[in-house]
Amino acid sequence: MTDRIPIPNKPEKSIAKVLFHSFVVIPLLVAVSFVFVYSLFSLLTYEDATPYDYLNDIKIGGATKRWQSAYELSKILSNSDEISKDDRFISEMINVFEQSKHDDNRVRQYIALAMGRTGTHRFIDPLLAEIEDENTENIPSIIRALGLLKSGRAVQKLKLFLDHKDENIRLQTVIALGNIADPSVIESLKTALYDKQDNIRWDAAVSLAKLGDNSGRDILLELMEGKIFVNFPEVNVQEQDQARIIAIRAGILLNDSVINKKIEELADKDGNIAIRKTAMEVLKTKNSSAESQIKTDIANG
C-alpha cells in the first residue's frame, strides 16, 4: 500500500466541447487578433498621415472614418502654420466644409474647428455664410471657430446669438466675443453677467476683463478664491482649478487694485500649487508686452 493519491481516469472530450472550441473559441481569437492588427495599423497610419490625407478620408471614407479624420485634422492644424497658408489646401477645406452640410454633425463640427485653429482669415466668410441657417448642434463649433479667427467682421452676427435659447450657443458666443475683443460688444457682454446659467456669467466676466472692463470683477474674485464651487458639486477638481487659473489670468489684465491684492494673496499662501504658481507667473507679467500672451492662454483654456 502507498500513500499516493490515485489519479482519476481522464475523461474523453465531449463532442459539444470540441464543437464549441472549433466554432466559437478559435474564430473569436482570430477576430480579436484581426481587430488588434487593424487598430495598430490604423494608429500608425494616423501618425504618418498628412492634412491632405485627412481631407481625402473626409471626402471618400466611410461614416466613422470621415468624422475621425475631421477630428484628427482639427488637432494638427493648430500647430501647422505652413499648410494653413497653402491656397490649394484652403480651397479644398472650404469645399469639404460646404459639402459636409448634410453629413454626420461631427464631421462638420470638427472641420469648422479645424478652420478656426488655422488662424486663416479666408475661412471667415464661408463660416459666416452658413451660421444663420445651420443645424443647432453645429452652431457652437462654428461660433468657436469664428472666435479663434478673431475677426471683427463676425461681431454683428455673433451678437445675435447672445439671446439664443440654447445655453451652449450663448456660452460659445460669450467666449468668442471675448477672443475677438471688439470694444463694441462690451455692453452686450454686460447683459450676459446676469444669464441664468452660471458658466455663462463666469465666462462673461472673463471676456469683459479681456476687453479691459471690470464689470465682472466680483465674479472673478469668487472664481479665484474657489469657494464658490462648494455650490457646484458637478464641477470636478480639475475643472475648478482650470476655472480659477483662467480667472487669475483674466483678472491681471484689469490692473485692478482689489484683484491684484487677491492674486498676491494666492501667490503667497494658496494651498493649491498650480494656483499659487499661476498667480506668481501673472504678477511677473503686469506689463503691456505680456498682455497678448495672457489673452492667448485664456483662449486656449
* Residue 186 covered by a domain: no
Q: How many independent structural domains does the chain possess? A: 2
Answer with the one of 149, 183, 203 that is the final residue of a domain: 149
* Residue 252 covered by a domain: yes
129 with 201, same domain?
no
For the chain, 301 residues long, give each residue's pLDDT as a single digit of tens: 444 434 445 455 566 555 555 555 555 555 555 544 444 444 444 457 888 999 999 999 999 999 999 999 999 887 766 676 789 999 999 999 999 998 999 999 999 999 999 999 999 999 999 898 898 999 999 999 999 999 899 999 999 999 999 999 999 999 999 999 999 999 999 999 999 999 999 999 999 999 999 999 999 999 999 989 999 999 999 999 999 999 999 999 999 999 999 999 999 999 999 999 999 999 998 754 455 555 555 555 5
Answer with the one of 149, 177, 209 that is the final residue of a domain: 149
75 Cβ contact partners less than 8 Å away, ≥ 6 residues apart: none
Short-list 3, 4, 22, 5, CA closest to 14: 22
With vertex at residue 299, the alpha carbon angle to CA 238 and CA 196, rounded to the nearest 5 degrees, is 70
The model carries a pTM of 0.78
* Residue 157 covered by a domain: no
Q: Give dist(CA 167, CA 172) in Å, integer.
A: 9
* Residue 167 covered by a domain: no
Answer with the one of 149, 170, 201 that is the final residue of a domain: 149
200 with 301, same domain?
yes
- Its domain, for residue 48, covers 38-149
* Residue 11 covered by a domain: no
205 with 299, same domain?
yes
* Residue 108 covered by a domain: yes
Q: Give dist(CA 162, CA 169) in Å, integer.
A: 8
144 with 206, same domain?
no
C-alpha cell at 196: 441664468
Measure the CA dihedral 183/187/190/196, to 10°. -120
* Residue 67 covered by a domain: yes
Looking at residue 153, the DSSP 8-state letter turns out to be: G
